[in-house]
Amino acid sequence: MTAATDPELRRRGVTPLTAHLGKACTAGVFLVIAGSVAAWVAIDRQPPAWDHANHLERAVACAEDLSAGRVRAILERSSFYPPLVPCAAGVVYLLAPSDAAGAQAVVLLFLGIGMLATYLVGHRLFDPTAGMVAAVLFATAPFVVFSALNFQLDLPLTAMVALFLYVLLRADGLPSTAWSVAAGGVFAAGMLTKPSFAVYALPPALLVAVTLVRQRRFGRLGLGVLIAVALSLPWYGPRMFGLPFQVASRSFTQAAESGFAEPLTAAGLLTYPRWFVPQFGALAVLLFVGGVYWAARRRPILVVACLVPFAVFLFLQNKNLRYTMPLLPAASLIAGASVASLLPLARVALCAAVLVTGALQVAATTFGIGPLAGQAPFGVELARAHPPSRAAWPHRAILKRVLDDSHGERATVSVVPNTDGFSMSNFRYYAARDGLRLRIGRAWSDYPLNIDYVILKTGNQGPEFASAKARRVTERFAADPLLAAVFPVIGEFPLPDGTRATLRVRRPQAVTGMAAGALARRMRAGAGGLLGEVVADATDLRIGLEYDDAALLRGTIRRVTISAASARVGELGRPKAATLRLRDIRVVLEGLTVNPARAALEGRIEPLALRRFRVERLTLTEADLQAFFAELTRLGRARVALLDDGARIRLAQPGPDVDLRLSVRPGSDGRPVVLDARGVRLGGVPVPDALTGWVVRNYDPTLKWAQLPVPVDVSPVRIRRGVLEVGAE
């Protein structure tokens, strides 16, 4: 890709002075944005919302991992988000322990990288003035300014896309080994920022690769690819099978649940075009439209880098401005191409318009001031305002009340609402940042099992598609006096949005007016109804209770023993739930606490806490396990054989099938049992033992069992031909 030559620049009126002015304007705009963001962060007291809080929590966790030298924990921390950006914030957090300042410093650093890369590409392809215009259009785009106010991965991703585009163009034809190394390293860094980097980077990279293949420069091309793969593989290798399913789920399944239009409908296809002005800015959009034709003829790589990824995201059902923001550097360069063809006086006028408009967009977005704030001609918002708020939220006061009541002991807190300022995400982040011994969870599905404290609020419970549980639990507390009585209020807190938060603690009161024996008979009768939610077709079902009279009246049963000759188990309340036939069953529930008032008055069992769940004995036949697999969507074509030396399994799936042998050993790391895989084959090709975990972890259910709210013990497991036995003598 040839750069603009000096004679061409002189014909356009570009002098060394204008080149220096372009650099100065670019740097000045960055400083203005950085100052505005710093002022905004200093004023704002709003809690970080959802993903913002989640990424801040990961930054704190990475800081702890780095301090302790836990490299493996860093690589395993998240199943979907790579560690580069959170760990960069973690490093800053270690050096200057301020979560907000450290995170925003990293975001501004990436904004600077994106601006610099955009400027350098424009300088190389056009001239310094066009580079400055492109960099300013990118940095002052309303959605880019908004993204600079939040610690998320999308602005760093955008910067890495711009940097990779610069490396591709600067290393035209990979003239040296150093540029092959640089291209591979930047690509890997982009992949370790966010998996979607490949969508933005591959189209221009493939365009360059075609040229290299024609020039027969296979060695340098291969070196760049090798470095990119080698640096990305430690994180992506263990996720190579699970990640595609997550991407597909986020792109379509979760999007449908969130109410997004089908991608091929008019509403779906027009979503991004309708959002283009609020995202990029009105002047930038006009310049982009004016520059597309010229760029397509003279600099096709810019059109490829912008429009090919756009087409990909256009046909995904899940749509968000964050997903197309990484296209803005290329779009800004296309818009900057409009400047390159203008006469000197017109160039000066357009540059002035870009700078003034950019300043107005920054002011409108960050503080909601200026002539653009609140303006929406023809229903198109020019710049959405996100002014800072000085109103303090009581998260710390609520968590302090929990700590005071629990005397600093470990406790589980359910945050029922799911609003942007009051959700599990920001409470969990604050607890992690302050090193509190609290486990923060969301609203429960069926029963408040092992939940010590409940945080509720009045009014809005969150987005319609993501707050069904929150609304259901909130309504239950309002309508169910027996539930409210077992979780009495120990604190009330006014919220800045005009609603009110309440803190409740699990504290069942003893039943009066009923003997322990009578209550035990009611509980034993009610246990059948509770088991009916997960057990069907039971034969010879027996339930035994061991209890102390005084404790039972408070709802605590020392031990519950459940046995059956045969039964089907599964989540029977879910449509088309898979069920598993078990035989010769004996399980023990130790330290079960139920709502004593509900058992006494209604004869129903409402579990509140369980100290331990033990599987003492059960038998699973090969035929029953195969029938269970047949009911599972993902494993419906799996085949299993139980042999004397373990289980032989074939997992038929889209792509290469997986063949392996499994044995079961006693648990570790909080898991009741551990699956040992050997002889793993992928599409018939043997997988080296060192890489077996990369394949098996995507199918191993025991990895999630360590996160169960109840400790689970399983007696020794033995596999013999046709049968898996637990607790066999």
pLDDT by residue (tens digit) across 103-152?
889 999 999 999 999 999 999 998 899 999 999 999 999 999 999 999 99
Which one is predicted more confidently, 344 or 650? 650
Task: Check if the beta carbon of residue 247 is closer than 8 Å to that of residue 316.
Answer: no
End-to-end CA distance of the chain: 74
State the pLDDT at residue 10.
52
Q: Is 160 exposed, middle or buried (0-12, 13-18, 19+ CB in 10 A)?
A: buried
Mean pLDDT of all residues in 434-456: 95
Q: How many CB atoms lie within 10 A of CB 715?
A: 18
| Least confident span in 9-18, 183-192, 717-726 | 9-18
State the pLDDT at residue 18.
63
Instruction: Give pLDDT tens digits for 693-722.
Output: 888 888 888 888 888 889 999 999 999 999
Q: Tell whether the model's pLDDT for residue 8 goes beyond 60.
A: no
Q: Which of 193, 183, 186, 163 is nearest to 80 (CA)?
A: 193
**Given the structure tokens 């860094």, which residue do they identify?**
189
Q: How many CB atoms lie within 10 A of CB 108?
A: 17
| Least confident span in 186-195, 318-327, 431-440, 652-661 | 652-661
**Given the structure tokens 């919220």, which residue do they identify?**
495
Task: Check if the beta carbon of residue 302 is closer than 8 Å to that of residue 353.
Answer: no
- Three-class DSSP category at 713: strand
Task: Check if the beta carbon of residue 682 is closer than 8 Å to that of residue 695.
Answer: yes
Q: Tell whether the model's pLDDT for residue 176 goes beyond 80.
A: no
Q: In what order do the strands lie in the sheet with 639-643?
A: 639-643, 646-651, 658-666, 673-682, 685-686
Q: Tell whether the model's pLDDT for residue 670 goes beyond 90.
A: no
Task: Check if the beta carbon of residue 571 is closer than 8 Å to that of residue 614.
Answer: no
Q: Which of 82, 323, 326, 58 is nearest to 194 (CA)?
A: 82
State the pLDDT at residue 466.
84
- Three-class DSSP category at 28: helix
Mean pLDDT of all residues in 262-289: 92
Share the mean pLDDT of the chain.
91
Q: What are phi and psi of 420, to 5 degrees?
A: -65, -35
Read off the pLDDT band of 173 (50, 70, 90): low
State the pLDDT at residue 668.
78
Strand residues in 409-488 grouped as ranges (E): 411-415, 438-441, 453-457
State the pLDDT at residue 244.
81
Q: Tell whether the model's pLDDT for residue 243 goes beyond 60.
A: yes
Do the bridges between strand 411-415 and strand 438-441 make them parallel or antiparallel, or are there none, so unpaired?
A: parallel
| Least confident span in 564-568, 636-640, 661-665 | 636-640
**Which tokens is 316 given?**
């995904």
- Three-class DSSP category at 384: coil
Query: Taking the alpha carbons of 313, 315, 316, 321 in that order, is the dihedral positive or negative?
Result: positive
Measured between alpha carbons, how far is 373 from 581 in angstroms, rounded to an integer? 63
State the pLDDT at residue 381.
87
State the pLDDT at residue 1.
52
State the pLDDT at residue 218.
80
Q: Tell whether the model's pLDDT for residue 636 goes beyond 80.
A: no
Measured between alpha carbons, how far is 129 from 122 in angstroms, rounded to an integer? 8
Q: Tell whether the model's pLDDT for residue 2 goes beyond 70.
A: no
pTM to 2 decimal places = 0.90
Measured between alpha carbons, how far is 331 from 319 in angstroms, rounded to an integer? 19
State the pLDDT at residue 295.
86
- Three-class DSSP category at 562: strand
State the pLDDT at residue 393.
96
**Given the structure tokens 């035929």, which residue do they identify?**
623
CB-based contacts of 651, cutoff 8 Å, min separation 6: 635, 638, 657, 658, 659, 660, 699
Q: What are phi and psi of 413, to 5 degrees?
A: -120, 130
Mean pLDDT of all residues in 236-262: 80
Q: Tell whether the model's pLDDT for residue 342 goes beyond 60.
A: yes
Which one is predicted more confidently, 14 or 526? 526
DSSP-assigned letter for residue 258: T
Do the bridges between strand 712-714 and strand 607-621 make them parallel or antiparallel, or are there none, so unpaired?
A: parallel
Which one is predicted more confidently, 61 or 575? 61
Beta bridge partners of 639: 650
Q: Is 13 exposed, middle or buried (0-12, 13-18, 19+ CB in 10 A)?
A: middle
State the pLDDT at residue 156.
98
Do the bridges between strand 535-539 and strand 556-569 make them parallel or antiparallel, or are there none, so unpaired?
A: antiparallel
Instruction: Give pLDDT tens digits for 354-385.
Output: 999 999 999 999 999 999 988 888 788 889 89
State the pLDDT at residue 3.
55
Task: Check if the beta carbon of residue 36 is closer than 8 Å to that of residue 365.
Answer: no
Q: How many CB atoms lie within 10 A of CB 527?
A: 22
Instruction: Give pLDDT tens digits for 56-104.
Output: 999 999 999 999 999 989 988 888 899 999 999 999 988 877 777 788 8
Q: Which of 358, 365, 277, 371 is nearest to 115 (CA)?
A: 358
Long-range contacts of 360-363 (CB under 8 A, 24+ apart): 361/140, 361/141, 361/142, 361/145, 361/281, 362/32, 362/33, 362/36, 362/140, 362/145, 363/36
State the pLDDT at residue 385.
92
Q: Which of 348, 226, 350, 236 is nearest to 286 (CA)?
A: 350
Task: Check if the beta carbon of residue 143 is closer than 8 Å to that of residue 155.
Answer: no
Crossing angle for the helix pair 197-214 and 154-170, nearest 10 degrees?
Answer: 10
Q: Tell whether the model's pLDDT for residue 11 goes beyond 70.
A: no
Measured between alpha carbons, how far is 21 from 126 in angstroms, rounded to an integer? 16
**Which tokens is 22 given?**
């372009």
Measured between alpha carbons, how far is 664 from 674 in angstroms, rounded to an integer? 6
State the pLDDT at residue 15.
54
Instruction: Give pLDDT tens digits for 468-518.
Output: 999 999 999 999 999 999 999 999 999 999 999 999 999 999 999 899 999
State the pLDDT at residue 355.
95
Q: Tell whether the model's pLDDT for residue 17 goes beyond 80.
A: no
Mean pLDDT of all residues in 670-687: 91
